[in-house]
Structure 1
Amino acid sequence: MRARQLDHRDGPRDECGVFGVYAPGRDVAKFAYYGLYALQHRGQESAGIASADLGGYIITQRALGLVSQVFAEHDLRALAGDLAVGHTRYSTTGGNEWENSQPVHRNDLRELALAHNGNLINAVELHSELVAQGVHFRATTDSEIMAALLATYPATSLEDAIAACIPRLRGAYSTVVMARDKVCAFRDPQGIRPLVLGRIDEDAWVVASETCALDIIGATYVRDVRPGEMVVLDERGVTSRQVVSGEREAFCLFEYIYFARPDSRMNGQLLQRSRGRMGELLAREAPAPGADLVVPVPDSGIPAARGFANASGLPMDDGFVKNRYVQRTFIQPGNELRQHGLRLKFNPLPEVIGGKSLVVVDDSIVRGNTTRQLVKMLRDAGAREVHFRITAPPIRNPCHYGVDMSSREEMVAHERTIAEVCEHIGADSVAYLSLEGVYEAINGEQASHCDACFSGRYPLEGTEGHLGKFALENQLPMIKA
């Protein structure tokens, strides 16, 4: 069994990034490479690109590792074509194995390559149906199930197959899929995960998880792909079909708080600004009288810490230096180094924090292990007091829509009061931004968002019966890699 890699992130783990481009005569492989590079924050386990010349066969390359590790210049030359899709992954269904990397490439009734961000809560049922029909699988992901559904459905076109299969899918799915002559993108009826449409020039179009992937290749943001909508990029330009309508929208609230890059825009909001506003509202809801200094937990806590400092009138400084070259793929430390743990990523600055009462701002606490270590590191570096301020409410429920968030029992806020959380992590005080404060910061409403990790209110019936990340491995051991 593969040893679990050392992961210093206590918050929810990232999900996946998807990218698709239709640009005849352009270097689509490099468009895809840079688009995935911009989306690297959404997953660091594997990356892949599939491409084709118009009417030609689809070529796919994928591997475990970061985008920059998977692709060299000669790889991109081999992926030259007129259209492409790409993916960067953090595993949310199926383990971190090469077979589970994406795009998924199938050639059944039709040839296609598919990349998916999200999670199907009826994956086991769909898998069983397809196996009974004689469909074979090589991986243990819901993404391959989607690809198999589309590749084996007896329709005259890929878009007709998508329109017929969407009603069978339950869960979150922002998906890009290519045939030999087109790229299609579609989103679940709740719109849980983001997906945006952009334009490069007159006859070149792109879809991606976030607007930052458009910016890096010089594309112009056009609009979000609507919940339940399918868009088709081909020789006609962009065509749209609203496959499902009238469902309750449930965009993931945590995209605003943590997942998306701060320079991305979601639902008209620049996230850097929204996160700064969260810090301002947190200072209003939970001030820290007598504190001397605001310290962010880099990098995700920086915008909110700046907002907290501005609203409270306190100075802000870097209490930690972060090693940005530590990735989830680095070599495991030996026993003699394990005691230093978090110092591989964060190193406190005694000259900045010594003798001071600190307000430490971060985006979330899930298990609490990392937060407890940070508190100890700050005290060892001479901090007089440590007051943690969190720009999200307490996380008490797992996400079943494309985020690996631990089980309830592992969550530090599960069956604990805030005072008990504070005692557990060893801080002088802990305060969370209220759910109402988050919605105020993003100018949003609960009626159109999913906040189940905080509230326990899942937008899809049957969600809590979902079997988790290793559902297919556990239920269907015969298909393990």
Structure 2
Amino acid sequence: MDHASGDQGAFGQGAGAGDWDADLNGDRLREECGVFGVFNHPDAAAIAAIGLHALQHRGQEAAGIVAYDGRRFHSERRLGLVGDTFSDARVIDRLPGQAAVGHVRYSTTGETLLRNVQPLFAELDAGGFAIGHNGNLTNGLTLRKQLVRDGAITQSTTDTEVILHLVARSRKARFVDRFIDALRCIEGAYSLVALTNKKLIGARDPLGIRPLVLGQLGDAYILASETCALDIIGATYVRDIENGEVIVIDDEGVQSHKPFPPMQARPCIFEYIYFARPDSIVGGRSVYQVRKMMGQVLAEESAAEADVVVPVPDSGVPAAIGFSQVSGIPYELGIIRNHYVGRTFIQPTQNVRDQGVRMKHSANRSVVAGKRIILVDDSLVRGTTSVKIVRMMRDAGAREVHFRIASPPITHPDYYGIDTPDRDKLLAATHDLEGMRRYIGADSLAFLTVDGVYRAMGCEARDPARPQFTDHCFTGDYPTALTDKAGAVASQQLSLLAEAS
């Protein structure tokens, strides 16, 4: 196994860009991760690097590729963006082979350390095994504690490593059966790509919460989190991996295994609202068209008298277009985003830190001044960025500012791979609608309803008995057991009882 050198990477060993990045992104939902796999291509690592570029929006903290050349595995894992490492031909040259798996990471579990960068690799008795994971295990911490008590030696702080140990401990004869054995132990959300010395394996959790697609590029097969990664390499979309499906690709072709009892799929609604790239097709739906439809339904539900519709870039753009089309109010770019502000920009001193949002977003005064504007964004989390944007619009001369959110109020945290704050940090969990409006300083505030989201998805309404999507952030309806969360609450209660006695 060849290991990447240097633990510092682009961001050092700390938690990224610190307060500066928190100021710009603390009020946004943070992306999860993206996975990519390729089998039977002479330039597998280069193809994986290009695919990861297309998935960069799903994680900007770290990137890694593990390749296999028929004799040995090679690994390059670094902190930073895909282009920071894999645009260098010398790095790709260190990843020979016709099969590779790749991963872009935003850490929802585990710190931003090189040892947590995926794909993770281990030498098992059956040979080398590399794995990349998009999602979050809701019993990962519980399993990890049990494994450590039983003598396991862990190298990372990620829940993904639990899967490595479970595969290693299975006594099944065939590798695919050992892999399935491990899946039977885990709970939560996952899309996995794994590489052995003979196979590329993909798997999706029984509810299909996280996405995974199969593509073909000539004689090569591709696995990816989104179809945009197929498009960028010129691959043909074959199909979505089904919920609860394990797909095995080797020299014999593609085999499908369905080890779990059939369940109704419940894909994550936030893939459509925020996470997936607009040009991706997720579950047979165009993400761009769905977001535009969300804006159209929002305009029907929450109209306002105004002169111009302004998106909060970039995530609010499709919904704002839809809102404009239905309302008949002109769409204008009243906010200009600076795409060149990133993690490497010099961190401002504390006395100018409040200006951070202006470095990322600037008012287009010629559009805003003297106008009644409707601001359209995709979601509202803490509300801190919304406060600054409303203030920016007023400073630019807006007469009225009406805020419209193309998703329902986020009232519950996520445990499936989305980095949401604790519930007491969610604005909608601590304020009523009027309280939120006053907090952000808008003249009016409205959210898309839960049924409105479902209408935009092509459903008549949400079926409370059998919800069609994973929508717990809006409804509190978590689709799986939250074993780690329940254990933490129980431990806290025991601790309080001990203190009381």
Q: By the TM > 0.5 criterion, same fold? A: yes
Partners of 1:400 and 1:463 within 8 A in 2: no
Asked if 1:255 corresponds to 2:255, the answer is no
Q: Secondary structure at the match of 1:33?
A: helix
Distance 1:393 1:413 in 2: 9
Match of 1:404 among 409, 413, 419: 419
Q: Secondary structure at the match of 1:251?
A: coil
1:395/1:147 CA distance change after superposition, 3 Å: same
Distance 1:313 1:388 in 2: 17
Letter in 1 for 2:39: Y
1:38 alignment partner in structure 2: 54
Letter in 2 for 1:258: Y
Q: CA deviation at 1:329?
A: 4.8
Q: Number of paired residues?
A: 465
Distance 1:192 1:369 in 2: 29
Q: CA deviation at 1:397?
A: 0.3
Q: CA deviation at 1:461?
A: 2.7
Map 1:347-426 → 2, pairs under 5 A = 347-426=362-441
Q: CA deviation at 1:466?
A: 5.5
Distance 2:51 2:66 in 1: 13
Letter in 2 for 1:32: A
Partners of 1:106 and 1:151 within 8 A in 2: no
Letter in 1 for 2:47: F
1:314 alignment partner in structure 2: 329
Q: Secondary structure at the match of 1:450?
A: coil
1:19 alignment partner in structure 2: 36
Distance 1:398 1:339 in 2: 26
Partners of 2:74 and 2:96 within 8 A in 1: no
Distance 1:464 1:292 in 2: 49
2:3 alignment partner in structure 1: none
Distance 1:147 1:96 in 2: 20
Asked if 1:450 corresponds to 2:470, the answer is yes
Distance 1:466 1:185 in 2: 29
Match of 2:132 among 86, 111, 115: 115
Match of 1:135 among 106, 131, 152: 152
CA deviations over 1:327-383 (Å, ceiling 9, x no partner) = 345432223531312012101111110010000000000000000010011111111
Distance 2:171 2:63 in 1: 30
Structure number with the bigger relative contact order (C-alpha 8 A, sep ≥ 6) is: 1
1:235 alignment partner in structure 2: 251
1:164 alignment partner in structure 2: 181
Q: CA deviation at 1:146?
A: 1.2
2:231 alignment partner in structure 1: 215
CA deviations over 1:379-412 (Å, ceiling 9, x no partner) = 1111111100000000010000011010100011
Runs of 4+ in structure 1 over 6 Å off? none
Match of 1:151 among 168, 171, 189: 168
Distance 2:320 2:294 in 1: 9
Q: Secondary structure at the match of 1:252?
A: coil
Asked if 1:325 corresponds to 2:325, the answer is no
2:117 alignment partner in structure 1: 101
Q: CA deviation at 1:463?
A: 5.7
1:200/1:435 CA distance change after superposition, 3 Å: same
Partners of 2:365 and 2:397 within 8 A in 1: yes
Scaled by the length of structure 1, what TM-score is found?
Answer: 0.93
Distance 1:216 1:334 in 2: 40
Match of 1:50 among 66, 69, 79: 66
1:333/1:17 CA distance change after superposition, 3 Å: same
1:479 alignment partner in structure 2: none
Distance 1:467 1:344 in 2: 42
Partners of 1:121 and 1:466 within 8 A in 2: no
1:180 alignment partner in structure 2: 197
1:252/1:329 CA distance change after superposition, 3 Å: farther
Match of 2:211 among 188, 194, 214: 194
Letter in 2 for 1:51: A
Distance 1:455 1:362 in 2: 20
Distance 1:124 1:6 in 2: 27
Gap regions ≥5 residues in structure 2: 1-13, 492-501
Q: CA deviation at 1:131?
A: 1.9
Q: CA deviation at 1:152?
A: 3.9
Partners of 1:107 and 1:151 within 8 A in 2: no
1:478 alignment partner in structure 2: none
Asked if 1:460 corresponds to 2:480, the answer is yes
Letter in 1 for 2:136: N
Letter in 1 for 2:21: L
Distance 2:187 2:194 in 1: 18
Letter in 2 for 1:234: D
Letter in 2 for 1:41: H
Percent of paired sites with the same residue = 46
Partners of 1:23 and 1:83 within 8 A in 2: yes
Q: Secondary structure at the match of 2:221?
A: strand
1:280/1:207 CA distance change after superposition, 3 Å: same
TM-align CA RMSD: 1.7
Distance 1:428 1:65 in 2: 40
Letter in 2 for 1:438: V
Distance 2:172 2:340 in 1: 47
Match of 1:280 among 284, 291, 296: 296
Partners of 2:187 and 2:481 within 8 A in 1: no
Match of 1:76 among 92, 114, 117: 92
